[in-house]
Chain A
Amino acid sequence: LTIFISTAIIFFMYRIKEHPVLTNDPGKTEWVRFYLDGKELEGKRGEPIAAALMAAGITGFRHTYRLGEPRGMFCGIGQCQECSMVVNGVPNVRTCVTPLEEGMKVYRQKGRGRMEKW
């Protein structure tokens, strides 16, 4: 139960709940489940995968090829490739511009990534 509560707290900590200018949330919110490295998380359907991860307090998205350095979201508009992850078996998916869907299996990418089946 403690784990559940602490997960819930972390999960909601980065979501902006009140705002002085943006009063109404755009569109209807539909919560969906997805998995990061096998761990279950929740996010809004249609928001970028990267936004759902940042909302859960996760900033590290991949490790570089040569030095294994951590990388996370950087440009937020699909240009820099820093947020590349393995999504449903496909590597190098730009998570900042890929909409979240129910049941997505997201993995932190190591190096250049590899197709599961080709």
Chain B
Amino acid sequence: MVIAQGSCELLVIGGGPAGMGAAIEAARLGVKTLLVDEASSPGGQLYKQIHKFFGSAEHYSGIRGFRIGEELQREAVAAGVEIQCGCRASGVLRDGRVLLSLPGRAVAFRAGRIVLATGGRENSLPFPGWTLPGVMSAGAAQTLCNIHRVLPGRRVMMVGSGNVGLIVAYQLIQAGAEVSGIVEIEQKTGGYYVHAEKLRRLGVPFYTGYQVTEASGDGTLEKVRIAPVGGGKAMSFSVDGLFLSVGLTPNSGLASMFGCLMTYEPLFGGFFPLHDKRMRSSVDFLYVAGDAAGIEEANSSLDEGRLAGISVAEDLGKLSREEAAETAEMVRQRLEGLRSGIHGRPRLLAKRRMTASGNEKPLPAIEVQSSESAALTVLESSLKLGRPLPFIDCPESIPCNPCVTSCSAGAISMEGICGLPVFTSKSCTGCMNCLPACPGQAIIIFGPEKENNDGSFVRVSLPWEQLPLFGKGDRVTVTDRNGEPLGNGVVVAFRRTGKDDGTSILTVKTAKEKAHLIRSVQKASRERG
């Protein structure tokens, strides 16, 4: 037990993706590493993420969050990281030792280097009735639903349309809840287009430009009132769950205790320790990574952690300056790649401003629109060629490329990690591997119907991660991107992909006429065939 010895070369505080990244990287380079986490198992919030992750293969893209947590833990153990769970870093002594609290005892621990990967915490939003039981943070709802398998409410509403709000709302539907709406104070949704689209297809209404004016109920939440910002007609909903996803704040308490210079940047959620390109803070033995160094995504946390790990190894002399610079540069470029799309660019510029390495202009805002005409073109060329072709509804430059890596025929290409996918029909084999690989469920495959067809029917294959699971011959109602019914379809194939993958390929035979508008099917419309 390293803890009992009272000292160690590197102490990593926090076992989320950032802390794990730092610990794995440092331990692989020969640094004796202790990682502490206050939860009963490491992995941070990865265990409640049941969606497929974005990013590239280095970020475990296309893999569901909880599996990434398991994988990181395996890698850490293999690299020789000592992991101590149920251990809280509660303070800093004047001589620089860290106070570690374990059940029933506390240890003053001396570490040569310390990586702070303490993550972030959810913000709250006060309004009349916000303290009523039934109103809770989106993270709490996600924990109940995905880890403890308990529904936090049957008819629920989500406040905030960032990625957290959108993802949790979708996961609540997967678990069987009914989402009455997403309330967003801004005029447009905040998160990724593909995440919002997954909800729209299921008919979830978005109330943009609205705010919650009151939550009420007798002892527990029963009613929510929302009204347009700046006045207008209020609306009332009967719900038993109201979840708040209104951003996160870096956990920077320990950094302050160490006397780190802090900086303020609203894009990153508020105050956090100032750091350089290689995650070194203003205190010479202290490094920061992940949400504690500014709120971002799990992918960037992982890479920031790796950078911190490399810096620690270099500063301890395990790695020459040149070697360290080379490895770090690779990770840093990947990290900048993650921050280069339409959502990430402002963060890239803010980080660069802070680390004083350049001063570029922000990207102009691009109005993103779903391209119905593009879908029609794909449908028509698939009928002309007589084979299925994918339509990729991915108009936003987000850091994600599993469609490219899933295509062994090389029919999908992309410029950088934040490029838009480009499809060339010539080499496409119609294998459909790209369809379940897309974490955004943005790929729909149109194809000709060859059985019992007078030319008026086509096949549409859709990603499906909901209940019910369909069977061949089932009749369903197909819907457009807003969840509005378009007509009827018959399930001709329902394929569950991979072991425990969770995404199924639902293929329906339907009328050709409006087929290019189809984005989903109604959950409750199944008639067994």
B132 interface residue per 8 A CB criterion? yes
> Contact: B175 with A19, CB < 8 Å?
yes
> Contact: B144 with A76, CB < 8 Å?
yes
> Contact: A16 with B133, CB < 8 Å?
no
Question: For chains A and B in complex, what number of residue pairs have CB atoms within 8 angstroms?
Answer: 98
- The interface stretch among B183-191, B465-473, B482-490 is B465-473
> Contact: B176 with A75, CB < 8 Å?
no
In the complex, A37 Cα to B502 Cα: how many Å? 41
Interface size range of chain A in the complex: 20 to 34
- The interface stretch among B75-83, B149-157, B280-288, B420-428 is B149-157
A72 interface residue per 8 A CB criterion? yes
> Contact: B175 with A77, CB < 8 Å?
no
Task: Find chain A residues with CB under 8 A from B140 CB.
Answer: 73-77, 96
Question: When the two chains form the complex, which single residue of A14, A20, A47, A69 contacts B502, counting CB atoms closer than 8 Å?
Answer: A20
Give the distance to chain A from B159, nearest Cβ to Cβ, in Å: 14
B16 interface residue per 8 A CB criterion? no
Q: For A51, give the chain B residue with the smallest CB separation.
A: B148
Main secondary structure of the interface of A (DSSP, over half): loop
B500 interface residue per 8 A CB criterion? yes
In the complex, A74 Cα to B138 Cα: how many Å? 9
> Contact: A79 with B134, CB < 8 Å?
no
Q: For B143, give the chain A residue with the smallest CB separation.
A: A76
> Contact: A72 with B134, CB < 8 Å?
yes
Task: Find chain A residues with CB under 8 A from B444 CB.
Answer: none
Give the distance to chain B from A24, nearest Cβ to Cβ, in Å: 8
> Contact: A72 with B220, CB < 8 Å?
yes
Task: Find chain B residues with CB under 8 A from A69 CB.
Answer: 131
A1 interface residue per 8 A CB criterion? no
> Contact: B50 with A21, CB < 8 Å?
yes
Tell whether A16 pairs with B151 under 8 Å between CB atoms, given A21-B50, A21-B502, A74-B140.
yes
A103 interface residue per 8 A CB criterion? no
Residue of B64, B144, B176, B500 with most partner-chain A CB within 10 A: B144
Tell whether A59 pairs with B149 under 8 Å between CB atoms, given A20-B466, A20-B467, A20-B502.
no
Task: Find chain B residues with CB under 8 A from A74 CB.
Answer: 124, 135-137, 140
> Contact: A54 with B150, CB < 8 Å?
yes
> Contact: A14 with B151, CB < 8 Å?
yes
Residue of A20, A48, A51, A70 with most partner-chain B CB within 10 A: A20
Q: For A44, give the chain B residue with the smallest CB separation.
A: B148
B397 interface residue per 8 A CB criterion? no
Tell whether A75 pairs with B151 under 8 Å between CB atoms, given A21-B174, A69-B131.
no
B401 interface residue per 8 A CB criterion? no
> Contact: B150 with A75, CB < 8 Å?
no
Give the distance to chain B from A69, nearest Cβ to Cβ, in Å: 6
In the complex, A54 Cα to B145 Cα: how many Å? 11
> Contact: A20 with B136, CB < 8 Å?
no
> Contact: B136 with A15, CB < 8 Å?
no
Give the distance to chain A from B204, nearest Cβ to Cβ, in Å: 17
Q: For B138, give the chain A residue with the smallest CB separation.
A: A76
Question: When the two chains form the complex, which single residue of B50, B135, B150, B240 contacts A15, counting CB atoms closer than 8 Å?
Answer: B150
Task: Find chain A residues with CB under 8 A from B146 CB.
Answer: 22
In the complex, A19 Cα to B50 Cα: how many Å? 11
- List chain B positions with a Cβ less than 8 A from chain A: 50, 64, 121-122, 124, 131-137, 139-141, 143-146, 148-152, 154, 174-176, 219-221, 240, 464-467, 469, 500, 502, 504
Q: List 22 A-B contacts (CB under 8 A).
A: A13-B154, A15-B150, A15-B151, A19-B149, A20-B466, A23-B502, A47-B148, A51-B148, A54-B152, A59-B133, A59-B240, A60-B220, A70-B132, A71-B131, A72-B220, A75-B122, A75-B139, A76-B137, A76-B140, A76-B141, A76-B144, A77-B140
- List chain A positions with a Cβ less than 8 A from chain B: 13-16, 18-23, 25, 47-48, 51, 54-55, 59-61, 69-77, 79, 82, 96
Q: A21-B50, A51-B148 provided; 17 other pairs, C-beta below 8 A?
A: A14-B154, A19-B149, A21-B64, A21-B465, A22-B146, A59-B133, A59-B134, A60-B220, A61-B133, A70-B132, A70-B133, A71-B133, A72-B136, A75-B121, A75-B139, A77-B140, A96-B140
